[in-house]
Structure 1
Amino acid sequence: MIVAHSRAWWRATLALCLGSILVFVNLYAPQPLLPELRQLYGVSTLGVSLVMSLATLALAGALLVFGPLSDAIGRGGIMRVTLLLAGLCSLVLAFAPTFEVLLAVRLVQGFVLGGLPAVAIAWMGDEFERPALMAAVGLYIGANTLGGIGGRLIGGGVGEVGGAGAGFLTVGLVTLVGVALFWKLLPAPHQFTPRRFELRGALADLSGHLRQPLLLAAYLLGGLNFLIFINQYSYITFRLAEAPYGLGARWLGLIFLTYLGGTLSSSLSGRLTRHLSQPVCMALGVLILMLGTLITLADSLGWIIVGLTVNAVGFFLAHSMASSWVGRQAQRARGSASALYLVFYYLGASLGSLWLEPFWQRGGWLGVAIGSWLMLGVTLGIALWLWRSECCPAQASVAR
């Protein structure tokens, strides 16, 4: 097993963090290009939004495929091949002749982008000792935030100068270079034991994970937290685009730099587990997210930015703890267990507007904050239940 901070640990962690960055660069790069794509292809605002939503939904579906598949054929090959295909898709997007072709390629790209997130933490669970796993997952989750920020900055920055095609082309070329480095850095697995793939067995594994209370609780915590966190960004842009702020699209895009707070908390989460249990860290993350939401009620733009940064700190702390909890608690089929966590995660993102929209319509941003606190109260209760289960071994063994 790979020990924390050894040469093999740094090499593997760097490779997986790089892969994570590449995934989210490709996923989010089109977001600042949507206005240009709308004009270029002559489609509606709702139509052009499919560029993002189709990719995200395809990614969520891919997690259910690649997770169980990795338990049978291995995880490294899946990560390498799917990253390569994702980069090639970005190159194709640069030359898409019609909007229908663009959507078809994004659908394929979203699917292959699910390869690495579906199996990366399971790969760590196979190869790393527990302290090494805790530290590596924190850095890996932090890399997610850097990829999301980097994708928007590359896509928007290059696209503003050379158009959407240039943005996609740049992302594709950057991805291919990154894949070459990833291919070289990722060590060969030594602890992985393959299992013969059977559809019935894969479905049984997924069903088994859902019947484990300690896993289901982490799935719900991650999905419901993301439901609030990512959709708050949508509603805060509506607030800041109106008077008295009147921010334009370029400045609204820069709000995602507050994700850097999550990069910091994720990278430090491994150290925090030396002093606090994982469920306590999850609860702490939820409380910080609730505090950040309170700060965003201020009228000052500066305090709003502070609040969003605090939100990112809390959310990514809880997310890194919940995802690594799944990798540790799954007794078998870790690939499908980790994939199922991310399915809940991305489904939460897609359903968040259904929960927050009524609060927004009735109470504006204060309503969004109230809706957020109600849901976060649920996830705080889940974290405390996990803490109680961990403190009572007899209860935890029954739950399993």
Structure 2
Amino acid sequence: MIVARSRAWWRATLALCLGSILVFVNLYAPQPLLPELRQLYGVSTLGVSLVMSVATLSLAGALLVFGPLSDAIGRGGIMRVTLLLAGLCSLALAFAPTFETLLAVRLVQGFVLGGLPAVAIAWMGDEFDRPALMAAVGLYIGANTLGGIGGRLIGGGVGEIGGAGAGFLTVGLVTLAGVALFWKLLPAPRQFTPRRFELRGALADLGGHLRHPLLLAAYLLGGINFLIFINQYSYITFRLADAPFGLGARWLGMIFLTYLGGTLSSALSGRLTRQLSQPACMALGVLILMGGTLITLADSLAWIVAGLTINAVGFFLAHSMASSWVGRQAQRARGSASALYLVFYYLGASLGGFWLEPFWQRGGWFGVAIGSWLLLGVTLAIALWLWRSERCPGRVSMAR
């Protein structure tokens, strides 16, 4: 087993963090380009939001495929090949002749982007001892955030200079260079033992998780919160691209630096649980997200940025608590329980445009805020129910 802080640990952790960055660079690079893509292809705001939705939807489905598949054929090959295909998809996006072609490529790209998130932590679990695993997972999750920020900065910055095609081309070339380094850095597995895939057992595990009220509540909370959080960023780009702000793609990409508020709250969430229970932290995160959304109604760009930063703090606090709650509550097949959380998470992201679009059409950004508060009220109620269930566990056990 690889031990923490050893040379092999640093090499493997660096490889997996690099892979994580590449995944989220490719997933989120188009987001600051949405206003330009809307004009380029002559589609509606709902239509262009599908550029993000189809990718997150197919990524969610991929998690249920690559996880079990990796148990049978290995994990390293899946990560290498899917990252390579993701980079090639970004190159293809640069030359998409029609919007339908663009969506089709994004659908494929979203699916292959699911390869690494589905198996990376399982790879660590195979090869690392427990202290090494815990240390590496924290760095890996931090890399997720950096990848999301980096993708938007690259897409927005290059896109403003050379157009959306140049943005996609740059992301593709950066990805291929990163894949070459990833391919070299990732050590060969030594502890992996293939096992026969049994569809019936896997489906039984998934069904058991969905019937577990405490798990299902966390799945819904994480998915609905992400539905609001990530799609708010899509609609804020439309608001800030129009008068009176008139921001270009480069500045729209920099808006996503507000994600750093979430990086901070994720890092501090462990300390907060010393004072509050996990469900209480989830409820606090939802309340912060609701408050940040209120601040974004201001007409000042500075206040809008402040509101988005507060949103990131609240969202990532609730997300980190909900995801860890799943690992704590699952009594068996924890890997599939965590994978199912991510399925709800990305499924929520893919459906957000359909929920928020009518509010945007009727009320602009104020309408988006109203639509957000309606669903955040649901997740606040879920968090409070979990808090009550933790204090009165007998009632939940009877429900199960």
Hey, what does 1:34 align to over in structure 2? Answer: 34
Q: Is the 8 A contact 1:121 1:327 kept in 2?
A: no
Retained in 1: the 8 A contact 2:21–2:146? yes
TM-score normalised by L of structure 1? 0.82
**Deviation (angstroms), 1:378:** 2.2
Q: Quote the offset at 1:250 in angstroms.
A: 4.2
Counterpart of 1:88 in structure 2 is 88
Determine helix, strand or coil for the equivalent of 1:298: coil
Cα deviation code 1:275-321 (max 9, x no counterpart): 55433332332222122123223343212211110101111122122
1:337 corresponds to which residue?
337
Q: Deviations over 1:189-225 (max 9, x none)?
A: 6776654213333322221221122221111011010
Most deviating of 258-267 and 18-27? 258-267
Return the offset for 1:335.
Answer: 3.8
Per mean C-alpha deviation after superposition, the further-off stretch among 116-125 and 319-328 is 116-125
Ranges in structure 2 where 5+ consecutive residues have no aligned partner: none
Are the structure 2 counterparts of residues 262 and 139 from structure 1 closer, same or farther at C-alpha, using a change threshold of 3 Å?
farther
Q: Hey, what does 2:62 align to over in structure 1?
A: 62
Counterparts in 2 of 1:372 and 1:129: CA distance versus 1, 3 Å: farther
Given that residues 142 and 264 in structure 1 are in contact (C-alpha distance below 8 angstroms), is that contact kept between their aligned partners in structure 2? no
Do the aligned partners of residues 40 and 315 (structure 1) sit closer, same or farther apart at CA in structure 2, a change above 3 Å counting? closer
Distance 1:334 1:190, change over 3 A: farther
- Name the CA distance, whole Å, in 2 between partners of 1:344 and 1:264: 24
Separation (CA, whole Å) in 2 of partners of 1:391 and 1:133: 31
Q: Secondary structure at the match of 1:49?
A: helix
Partners of 1:296 and 1:45 lie apart in 2 by 20
Counterpart of 1:297 in 2: which secondary structure? coil
Q: Classify 1:137/1:58 alpha carbon distance in 2 versus 1 (closer, same or farther; 3 Å).
A: same
**Which stretch of the first structure deviates more once superposed, 292-301 or 67-76?**
67-76
CA distance in 2, matches of 1:370, 1:43: 25
Change (3 A) 1:47 1:335: same
CA separation of 1:296 and 1:275: change in aligned 2, threshold 3 A: same
Give yes or no for contact 1:32–1:152 (8 Å, CA) kept in 2: yes
| Partner deviation per Cα, 1:344-376 (whole Å, 9 max, x = no partner) | 112212322443345445655444334323322
Which stretches in structure 1 are left out of the alignment for 5+ residues? none
Q: Which moved more, 1:125-134 or 1:269-278?
A: 125-134
Deviations 1:225-244 (A, max 9, x none): 01221222234344445555
The residue that corresponds to 1:72 in the other structure is: 72
Secondary structure in structure 2 of the residue aligned to 1:149: helix
Contact 1:22 1:147 in 2 (8 A): yes
Further displaced range: 221-230 or 95-104: 95-104
Deviations 1:97-128 (A, max 9, x none): 66665444333222100112223345556677
State the match for 1:193 in structure 2: 193
SS, match of residue 20 in structure 2? helix
1:9 aligns with 2:9: yes
Alpha-carbon distance between aligned partners in 2 of 1:115 and 1:64, rounded to the nearest angstrom:
10
Q: Which moved more, 1:282-291 or 1:265-274?
A: 265-274
For residues 185 and 390 of structure 1, do their structure 2 counterparts lie closer, same or farther at Cα, with a shift above 3 Å needed?
Answer: farther
Between the two proteins, what is the percent identity of the paired residues?
Answer: 92
SS at match of 1:3: coil
Confirm or deny: 8 A CA contact 1:138 1:266 kept in the other structure: no
Go from structure 1 to structure 2 and tell me whether the alpha carbon gap of 1:316 and 1:15 turns closer, same or farther (over 3 Å shift): farther
- Counterpart of 1:240 in 2: which secondary structure? helix
Return closer, same or farther for 1:333/1:187 CA change in 2, 3 Å cut-off: farther
Shift in alpha-carbon separation, 1:61–1:150, aligned structure 2, 3 A: same
Aligned length in residues = 400
Deviation at 1:65, TM superposition (A): 1.4
Q: Post-superposition shift, 1:394? A: 5.4
Q: C-alpha root-mean-square deviation of aligned residues, in Å?
A: 3.7
> CA 1:386/1:71 → structure 2, altered by over 3 Å: closer, same or farther?
farther
2:293 touches 2:308 (CA, 8 Å); kept in 1?
yes
Distance in 2, matches of 1:364 and 1:39, equals 18
The separation in 2 between residues aligned to 1:38 and 1:358, in whole angstroms, is 17
